[in-house]
Structure 1
Amino acid sequence: MATRSRRPERRQEPLSRERIVEAAVELLDTVGERGLTFRALAQHLSTGPGAIYWHITGKDELLGAATEAVVAAAVAVEPSGRTADSPEDTVRAVALGLFDATEAHPWLAMQLAMQLSRTPWATVAPRIFESLGRQVRAMDVPEAHWFTATSALMHYILGAAGQNAANSASAARAGLTGGDVDRDAFLDTVSAAWEALDPEEYPFIRAVANQVRGHDDREQFLAGITLVLAGITAHHRPGH
């Protein structure tokens, strides 16, 4: 006897923009930007594409909303482990929030780069800039230098976080699982290759080659933040 195929169950609770964006982030994390279609999103939400179009007009808006949601959560991270939170502590918390978000969401670095270059007036760039700029202002940097100092921080954070994400993606494509053993083996290979370079042409690279082995990416990232903050403080100290 012929049997009827079961139709997908429809969701019972009302569909919201927030839930659509949350589901979009979930799909981006698992299937990437190419896999994020309204058909796939509708299936993921157990609804019809028309219900999604009621809240989101197209894929560009969906990607922008997903990026904004992840960035908003990242910059909302509060400093921890301190008795008194300084502006520098807050900058480090925001920076680590963005670093970890970019690591956790492989699609984020590309979306940030695209949105910051194409639509810097939209919500993402102002949110990051505001989060960092308030702390620059609290560091008593003269107002005439707020933009430059905040830009330096933002460019370092997004550049370093994006490069780290790219390194992780390359390691994954090369078959590395992200485990400590595989990562250590990869860094040993890099270090050995640097040590084998011509000593006259690459004296500096050879000198630091051993420091590549076993380094911690987050610690290295935070060390860079400390250097940028120290430079801002030194350059704008009273009487300078």
Structure 2
Amino acid sequence: MEAVLNEAVSLLDEAGVPALTFRALAGRLGGGVGSIYWYVSGKDELLDLATDHAVGPLLAELEARPDADDPIDELRTMAVRMFDAIVVRPWLAAYFMRNSLLQPNTMRLYERLGQVTLRLDLTPRQRFHAVSAIVGYTVGTAADLGQEPPREVVDGEVGREEYLARFADLWRGLDPEQYPFVHQIADEFAHHDDKDQFRAGLDLLLAGLRLEAEG
């Protein structure tokens, strides 16, 4: 099973979900398509198991870390590591925690986040909402930023800065009375760093959680 999941993750990393077919997987393993069915019932189960397999090293890393003195700092560190792991593997986002029966690693990661909130003065509902918000923001943002760049950027026809500058120029050309916000942030958009943007949003979310816990 370990070999099956290792090769499944490799195929997903190389070309995403469309690349993960039983025929391609069997070819990697040097066997027939029928042999894959000894391990999984179909592609959906394989995707869930491959996702959990890919999350395993992240979970092991986080479990090995000593807890930070400040639980909010601990939540920030965990979210940033989750983001880093998913942004390079955007296929993970669609299947992350999709099936807790088949994904013990993702379930343990969710539990670990939740246990950190036990150190905060929150109600059970507030803890549930807090962890849901952190996971949703982290996974969703990583999936968005991990998408395939535009063709002209991939082909090297234009750089990232030039590509962003095109849209910033378009925004500057909009009616400032109808789009005052877009006009104000156009320069920020043109030169923003995706990871900094994620961290800034995460800090806003966690600042709200701190206020709720201290209120």
Is 1:134 equivalent to 2:115 in the alignment? yes
| Cα RMSD, aligned residues only | 2.9
Kindly name which structure, 1 or 2, has the bigger radius of gyration based on alpha carbons.
Answer: 1
Matches within 5 A, 1:150-161: 150-161=131-142
Tell me what 1:26 maps to: 10
Cα distance 1:109–1:143, how it changes in 2: closer, same or farther (>3 A)?
closer
Cα distance 1:162–1:32, how it changes in 2: closer, same or farther (>3 A)?
closer
Unaligned runs of 5+ in 1: 1-16
Distance 2:130 2:89 in 1: 27
Size of the alignment, in residue pairs? 213
Q: Counterpart of 1:69 in structure 2: which amino acid?
A: H
Residue by residue over 1:173-194, the C-alpha shift from the partner in whole angstroms, topping out at 9 and shown as x without a partner, is x231398x71111111121111
- Cα shift at 1:121: 6.0
Q: Select 1:101's aligned residue among 85, 89, 92.
A: 85
Q: Counterpart of 1:67 in structure 2: which amino acid?
A: T
Is 1:62 equivalent to 2:39 in the alignment? no
Is the 8 Å Cα contact of residues 40 and 46 (structure 2) preserved in structure 1? yes
Tell me what 1:73 maps to: 57
- Cα shift at 1:102: 2.3
Unaligned runs of 5+ in 2: none
Matches within 5 A, 1:194-209: 194-209=171-186
TM-score by length of 1: 0.77
TM-score by length of 2: 0.84
Q: Select 1:35's aligned residue among 19, 34, 59.
A: 19
